Chains A and B, each alone.
Chain A
Amino acid sequence: MALSIRLIQLLPLMVVTGFSSHLRADTQQVKIRGFFSTGVTGTTRSDKDVANSIGVEQDPANLAKNSKYHKAPQIEKNTLFGLNFNAAAGDDITLAAQMLVDGAASDYSLVSLDWAFLTYQPNDHMALRMGRQKTPVWMISDIVDVRKDQLWSNPPVEVYALFPVKVHDGLGATFSTKISGVGLALEPFFGTASLKREYPQESGPSSPRIFGSSLTADFDWVKARVAYTKSHWNVGPGAALWNERKLDFISAGFQGENSRVVFAGEYTTMKDLSKSEFEKLTNDTSGRIDQLNQLSKVPQASRAAATGSNLSDAEIAAALGGLGKLEELYGVKFDGMTGYYGALGYRVTDRFLPVFTYASATCDETQKYYFMTHKTMQIDLGYDASAQTNVKIQGRQVSVSKNRRSEFSINEDRDAKVNTYALTLNTTF
């Protein structure tokens, strides 16, 4: 198994180097396209208020450096350059790759291979892909984080930051057909997720093994998609938060566009199928907390006679306190995390597209610190200067709940509102 995983990780390199030498000069033509985005981002929040990122403890100073939103306008963090290569090797095989230069990435991953894969498509109903490819878990999986000229310059984090798997090294396929005029596409995938963009530091979680499938229904100008992903994470012993996790991830979305109206929405939720470290640690005293809670309800004077327990109130309180602390530290599960958004835009003339988006992310009440709970209202105004170039202005207000840590936290003791803005020029060539 270890060998096969290693092979899967090597596939992108094999795709780029090995197969490129087999492109037939008489039939192929390498087509190069690209995109470029730049502009400023900023926030009303002081850099000192940056508390924590999602799920991973970090030095606030380091986080402030890595955060996309600073008090002072940031240009580098909002600059992105992509080069896209597409070549055919015969009628059925194509090779595609995309390189990124991303100002928001950490220094040593400034230039990255976004994806590179080989496609074998013997007919219009089946395509098999091998290599690094976009994982089709969302409606906008293909463009999230890279195509700022699309609906938003920055998509809602409430959905698209919840499950940080966007690219995987491995296999993917598309099986498509039409039933009563409705196009259906089933896209299973399998491989190892690449998290370099999300967790460039060593402290991040390991690359999880994933497999799943999406199903897309295409009603011409409206599309709907559902996806189910199973993932297996393993950071190794000592990392209490992650260690070994089996997470299931469900997403469902829709998107529609005609000459005037644009709308989109997506819902996601995550299910943690593994035991928390606390559950593992207390496995031999299963139900101990419930048992202690029951005992505490019985007056100490009659406790021995009623329950057979000689524990005093003080001893029960101490035991509960100790277990509570242990649960707080090691009881983290990724359960009950959900996110959704709805977006509606209306084209004013052929050039202006204002879009209003409402997004919300919540997590289970038992999750005290690690996951975002906030609501966002955001307005994007796009102006198409030409068919290839547009300008986007984005204003966003994030309402962060107290006792939660997220990318937009200010102070964990109180609710807070954080405003962010972005002005972005996007062009494709």
Chain B
Amino acid sequence: MKKLFQVLLSFWVLALPSFGSASVDVVVNNDSGITSLSADVVKDLWTANSKTLGDAKAEMCDQAQDSAVRAEFYSKATGKTVREMLALWSKVVFTGRGSEPRVGANDAAVLECVNSSKGGIGYLPSGKADKSVRVVLKLP
């Protein structure tokens, strides 16, 4: 009985990270001059209500469509699921009101995307940002 309890406990401990949600860092281009952003600004950008970041045109960079960090970011920044966000951007694109964020296949690609323009903005799993970008918002 004790052994069974120990096995169950070890499974529970191993499973703990999956119960909690990972935090996400929002990052911008170092040249943007922006040191911090509110959650509302990030939400407006990703829900197509805003197109500017500081004094530059925003270039949003998404993670891969099936990545966990994308779902996490959408949930925390916009309160929407990946499917809802795809539907939202589909409407924006097919009405000529804008073009959807660029997609980076992995963290390195997102960093590259953010660095490619002054208005670059993206998100990474917490702690994955390097010095080439600036963390301006932490979504716990």
Contact = CB atoms under 8 A, between A and B. Distances in A.
A4 to B, nearest CB: 24
B82 A387 contact: yes
A35 B94 contact: yes
A384 B94 contact: no
A91 B94 contact: no
B95 A134 contact: yes
B31 interface: no
Nearest to A124: B50
Contact of A387 (B52, B57, B65): B65
B94 to A, nearest CB: 6
Interface of B: 44, 49-52, 56-57, 65, 79-84, 86-87, 90-91, 93-99
B5 to A, nearest CB: 35
8 tightest A-B CB contacts, nearest first: A96-B96, A142-B95, A91-B57, A124-B50, A86-B99, A31-B99, A387-B86, A33-B93
A324 interface: no
B96 A147 contact: no
Interface in A342-399: 350, 384, 387-388
Nearest to A185: B49
11 contacts: A84-B93, A86-B93, A98-B96, A121-B51, A123-B52, A124-B51, A124-B52, A134-B95, A143-B95, A147-B94, A259-B84
Given A91-B57, A150-B87, 8 more contacts: A124-B49, A134-B95, A142-B91, A142-B95, A147-B90, A149-B90, A259-B84, A428-B94
A123 B52 CA distance: 7
Nearest to B82: A387
Contacts of B81: 259, 350
Interface of A: 31, 33, 35, 82, 84, 86, 88, 91, 94, 96-98, 115, 117, 119, 121, 123-124, 133-134, 142-143, 146-147, 149-150, 176, 183, 218, 220-221, 257, 259, 350, 384, 387-388, 428
Nearest to B56: A91
Q: Which of B82, B86, B93 has the most CB of A within 10 A?
A: B93
Contacts of B94: 33, 35, 82, 84, 98, 142-143, 146-147, 428
Given A33-B93, A33-B94, A143-B91, A387 B83 contact: yes
Nearest to A35: B94
A261 to B, nearest CB: 12
Contacts of B83: 350, 384, 387
A185 to B, nearest CB: 9
B111 to A, nearest CB: 20
Contacts of B52: 123-124
Contacts of B90: 147, 149, 428
Nearest to A384: B83
Contacts of A124: 44, 49-52
A371 B58 CA distance: 49
A146 B87 CA distance: 15
Contacts of A142: 91, 94-95
Nearest to A85: B96
A147 B98 CA distance: 17
B49 A176 contact: yes
A406 to B, nearest CB: 29
Contacts of A31: 93, 99
Contacts of B49: 124, 176, 183, 218
Contacts of A134: 95
Contacts of B87: 150
Contacts of A149: 90
Contacts of A91: 56-57
A326 B90 CA distance: 51
Contacts of B91: 142-143, 147
